[in-house]
Structure 1
């Protein structure tokens, strides 16, 4: 008596587990890509900053310090631009990953709705009284 219910429940559980695994894979792939982007950006900014600081350490007179001011501003501006560009890239990748997860969830809900609709139609047909034969 409970066998069809148990089979439907087991199938739904398997489908949920498969979907959860796919969502986790998408989220982890996105996290890995975002982490790589941010690490690369930090590395670039640190290298540029230390190169500037190396030049600043070699400055011995006021004239060389005056030439460092525009370079320092340039390094700071580039660091800000890299940070903004990285933030935009991270945001874009995250939106793509969330879109993929949303599409996956939507397809699962649609599949579940089709299955429920088919079961309802089958039950209604089975419960409908047979029409008497015409005489």
Structure 2
């Protein structure tokens, strides 16, 4: 009787370990995508800032400051929009990753439940 019940549990445990490895892989891939999104955003922001600062460095009088003022406002606006857009993409990627991991474990729990239920009913029949 113990071998009838032990084999399904060993199979389920092995399957859970494989699922945990898959979940870890999914999480790592999601993290990698998020980091890439943030790096691209930081690179674009840095490029815009450097361009603005190189232009602002040439300002020598009040008239030049008046001319550069709208560009500074545009830089802040664009940077804010880029930050918001990137945060939305990061959130979307995090949700996709968590949904994929959730689906993986949901399927595993269903399979494990079915396996254990079948093993328990077989053991009950054998005991009767």
The structural deviation recorded for 1:2 is: 4.5
Q: Between the two structures, name the one with larger relative contact order (CA 8 Å, sep ≥ 6).
A: 2
Number of aligned positions between the proteins: 128
TM-score by length of 2: 0.92
SS at match of 1:60: coil
Tell me the equivalent position of 2:112.
Answer: 112
Structure 2 residue runs of 5 or longer lacking an equivalent are none
SS at match of 1:25: helix
Alignment of 1:31-70 (within 5 A): 31-70=31-70
Tell me the equivalent position of 1:85.
Answer: 85
The structural deviation recorded for 1:112 is: 0.6
Using the alignment, how far apart are the partners of 1:15 and 1:117 within structure 2?
16
The structural deviation recorded for 1:75 is: 0.3
Please list the CA deviations of residues 71-127 of structure 1 after superposition, one character each: whole Å capped at 9, or x if unmatched.
001001100100000000000010011001001110000001101111122123323
Using the alignment, how far apart are the partners of 1:50 and 1:75 within structure 2?
11
List structure 1 segments (4+ residues) > 4 angstroms apart after TM superposition. Answer: none
Deviates more, 1:117-126 or 1:55-64: 117-126
Bigger Cα Rg:
1
Structure 1 or 2: more helix by fraction: 2
TM-score by length of 1: 0.87
Deviates more, 1:1-10 or 1:77-86: 1-10
Root mean square deviation of aligned Cα? 1.5
C-alpha spacing 1:127/1:6, structure 2 compared with 1 (3 Å): closer
Using the alignment, how far apart are the partners of 1:74 and 1:122 within structure 2?
72
